[in-house]
Amino acid sequence: MFPGGVSGADAAWLNKRITASVSGTPFGGEDNLSRREKGGPASDLRPKKVGQGAGVDRTWSIWSHCPAPLRCPTDVDWSSPLAQLANGGKVRKHGCVKLQNFYALKSGDAPTPQGGRASLSTYELGMLRVPSGMLGACDPFAGDLADPVVIPIPAGDYPVTVTVADVSEAQDRSHLREAYLSVIVSDRAAVSLDAAVGNEGPPADGMFYGVGVDAGTVAFVDALAAASAMPNPSSWYELFDNSTPESWFNIMDADAPYPAGSANIVMPLSTAGENVTLVHSGWGDGFYPLLQTTDADGQLLGVHLDLGVVGEVEGQPLL
């Protein structure tokens, strides 16, 4: 038995991640290494089908900054060596997220958690409609589109940007990984970086709100949009994966209008432009924290999903 009574399939899944951590295998039990770095077709990058990995507590990950506050088992002993290893060896406090170690929306050189270097580029993914003022973050292909993590922001339409890291040894763009997905509320200068404030207020000390990923994809969406702009959930998989160019998988695989592996999709029953912006999730499945940048007056400037591809912890690589 694992701390908190985790057993069976969950225990096997956690063991796989711990083994990957010790061996230095890249993020995620599935390892999500694709033919992107081998020059293969973009279709090999598509996420797993909806329902794969069902029943797994997606808040556990060796690369987690910390467990999700509203979705994490409440009876886990986080001081135990196993639980700390499952969380990257650290249960991180709010104060340990530092602006100088944050690379969203930046171009140029950045460190990687493995101790290497990456080259960053940014790509605009168009506007996201958030008329309710409830920004949702989720894995859209794992059944979470109608039940995202909610981060309150001023109602409006906002630009979304993906920060992509070239992690190839030769720095020749042969191996690209999405490093951050960002909703930009304002372009004023950021002076603070913190755990994002959720719909029920700030997370407790040592906790971050975040997205549990089980299908290799993260997304931002208006948290109320799916209720009116998406069809019955029983038909979602057919919408996501079919033979037409309009399937969501095929839209993500396309090289235009956005880079392959990303998309900005208007929902099929939209009446007011309700949409979702989505990208592949860095190294693959796991848990990804939500961060927020603010200005000198404490005003929100952006909400960011940190996909664990670049940056250091306390000045040291994660592994």
Residues in the chain: 319
- pLDDT, tens digit (0-9, with 9 covering 90-100), for 96-137: 568 889 999 999 999 999 899 999 999 999 999 999 999 999
Contact 218, 181 (CB under 8 A): yes
Between strands 300-306 and 286-294, the pairing is: antiparallel
- pLDDT, tens digit (0-9, with 9 covering 90-100), for 187-227: 999 999 999 999 888 988 878 999 999 999 999 999 999 99
- pLDDT, tens digit (0-9, with 9 covering 90-100), for 7-45: 333 333 333 332 232 223 333 333 333 323 323 333 333
CA 119 from centre of chain: 19
Contact 25, 281 (CB under 8 A): no
Contact 291, 222 (CB under 8 A): no
Residue 96: predicted pLDDT: 53
CA geometry: angle at 32 spanning 28 and 36, to 5°?
145
- pLDDT, tens digit (0-9, with 9 covering 90-100), for 61-97: 323 333 333 233 333 343 433 333 333 322 233 335 6
Contact 104, 185 (CB under 8 A): no
Q: Say yes or no to pLDDT of 142 above 70.
A: yes
CA dist 186 and 273 (Å) reads 21
Residue 264 pLDDT level (bands cut at 50, 70, 90) = very high
Paired tokens of 222: 């208006």
Q: How far is CA 285 from CA 32, 159, 251, 254, in A?
A: 8, 25, 20, 22
pTM: 0.74
